[in-house]
Amino acid sequence: MIPDIRWREFRDDGRGRKGTSSRKLRQQLSGTPTRALVLSLALGVSVAAGAATPPDTLLVNGKIITVDADDSVAEALAIRDGRILAVGTTAEIEALAGPATERIDLAGRAATPGLLDAHLHLSSGGLLRLTQADLSFPIVKSVADIVALIDERAEETAAGDWLLGRGWDEGKLAERRYVLAADLDPVSGDRPAWLTHTMGHYGTANSAALRLAGITRDTPDPPGGTIDRGEDGEPTGVLKEAAMGLVSRLIPQPGAEKMREAIAAMAGELNAECMTGAKDPGIGYNVLADPASAMNTWNAYRQVLADGDLTVRVFALWRSPGTPDEARQLVERIAPFTHPESRDGGDRLISGGVKIFADGSGGARTAWVWDDWNRDRTGLDEGNHGYPAIDAIVLRDLIMYYHDQGLHVGVHAIGDRAIDWTVASLTLALIRNPRHGLRHSIIHANIPTELALNTMAALQQNFDAGYPEPSPTFTWWIGDTYAGNFGVERSHRLNPFRSYLERGMRWASGSDYSVTPFPARYGIWASIARQPLLGVHGSDAFGADEAVDVRTALRSYTIWAARQMFLEEEAGSLEPGKYADIAVWDVDPYTAEPAAIRDMQCQMTLLEGEIVYRRN
């Protein structure tokens, strides 16, 4: 059922309950007035309460970009017991030192809060990084390159074993078309093959995999999915959305040890990019069908944390099943340890809520839109408006149910029609039960309408909800495919950051790795530049009207992202009392040209005052 949106469907039914306020998270350091505190009053340096003991570490002679409420810039800061003790001039901070205090001389380098990614598939993306062939640009630039790589893998793979790859994108291929089963069959033989698109919403199976899955010309499209077919009606091998599961469910899954290895390795990779946290959306996708397997990811996180190798903060979302009955079973399983403000894993690992899919992909042209999708920028994919991932009424009911359970909800919504439906559903949930502070989000929120923009702004103001969690790198890494599919008008309103600012809105940015590369510096640059990777449809395909400056872009990867991880009182800015999660760069992002921001290199990363990455 795909209903039209009618606001009368979203009225209060009189059963609303009083909301509850979020608890304050700031853990103030306690103590009596000290030399440091007196010094702060005399010199104006910002010092945490209770600063009797000298700091463990000083960062001096730098440019400390605090991202506090005033966007203050200092020269130095002091750290004690993993938290920032004081921020000020180098002379002021040096005056706090004791005989055992260590010094890090920044030598003029800039330091920012450790960067946070509000949408990064850390666990599953890390697993793909370890186990599947990389088919991304520039490793592959043509279908022929993909075929050659699969040919190499086939020679190393036993007969009957799977050939797996990830990351291809027709927008970057010389042929500007999908990879097809007919391309793979000559080199894959009897080995089944599955190659996932970089966006993760479609992929290509070879004929051996199609046979294993029982997919023929007579196989109907599954609900919420598409089996791509040629003019002769035969499957081409390309499967979209729910149809991917017909093949992917047959692929043997790596064990728990491989998942632990993937998480620990990804944490290190993030640290090397001056990143200290991420929101991992959609773990435990098969929690009902295979509970033990679904819990593997969460348990792997817990083990990596226990081993001391989780050197980033992780806020995990559980992937919602598609029916209300299954949703209730999910909540029964995860409720004991899931709440956005729960701290069973300290501030390092949080089981925070649930993710729901409202629609599909802009690349596959399956996202739910009001007007026909485009082809090649100006052509039309006539009659194709995409479709909801699940029944729209069920989606609305799931949002209301999770909200009533006190769970933070993130809804994946790409198309403008899906976004309209999502914000309307959130509005109903909040009117019926005006519970403030759950910070429900619209993940990606690619092309919101004016109605959706205004509604999100109102939800933020009145309910502390309705926060976009966009991926700025969509205009870059998948921008050539996007520009062709969204067309001229929709491309110019993609990622409308300027429109958010004009309405006083906050948003939290993310990479959607492994859809786009994870370094957050790319997203900061893309928020400013809005330039596609190759410029197939022109370098200005998305225009500059919705661009923002570097200060705003940085906030979306620091304090605003921290807020969507319910950690803004502990991280996201460099202020006394907060964790010393710090990024040191080779350039000053506030004065650098946009291209230099894209290419800036992480020099050092600290998590709770400990160095977790040092360049060279």
Q: Residues 6 or more apart from 591 whose CB is under 8 A from it?
A: none
Q: What is the 3-state secondary structure (H, E, C) of 454-517?
A: HHHHHHHHHHCCCEEECCHHHHCCCHHHHHHHHHHHHHHCCCCHHHHHHCCCCCCCCCCCCCCC
Give phi and psi for 90, each to the nearest 5.
-60, -40
Q: Is 46 helix (H, G, I), strand (E, B) or coil?
A: strand
- Tell me the pLDDT tens digit for each residue of 487-535: 999 999 999 999 999 999 999 999 999 999 999 999 999 999 999 999 9
According to CATH, where is 3.20.20.140 located in the chain?
Answer: 7-16+256-611
- Tell me the pLDDT tens digit for each residue of 85-123: 999 999 999 999 999 999 999 999 999 999 999 999 999
Question: What is the per-residue pLDDT for 478?
Answer: 97
Question: What is the per-residue pLDDT for 38?
Answer: 32
35-108: CATH number: 2.30.40.10
CATH architecture assignment, domain 7-16+256-611:
Alpha-Beta Barrel (3.20)
User: How are beta strands 83-88 and 46-47 bridged, if at all?
Assistant: antiparallel
Query: CA-CA distances (angstroms) from residue 507 to 247, 272, 444, 453, 466?
Result: 36, 25, 10, 12, 9
- Helix or strand holding residue 273 (H, E): none
According to CATH, where is 3.10.310.70 located in the chain?
Answer: 137-197+200-248
According to CATH, where is 2.30.40.10 located in the chain?
Answer: 35-108
Is 50 exceeded by the pLDDT of residue 26?
A: no
Question: Please, are residues 90 and 59 in contact by the beta-carbon 8 Å criterion?
Answer: no
Question: What is the per-residue pLDDT for 149?
Answer: 97
CA atoms of 486 and 481, how far apart (whole Å)? 9
Listed range (151-165, 336-350, 441-455) with the worst mean pLDDT: 336-350
Q: pLDDT category, 253, cuts 50, 70, 90?
A: confident
CATH architecture assignment, domain 137-197+200-248:
Roll (3.10)
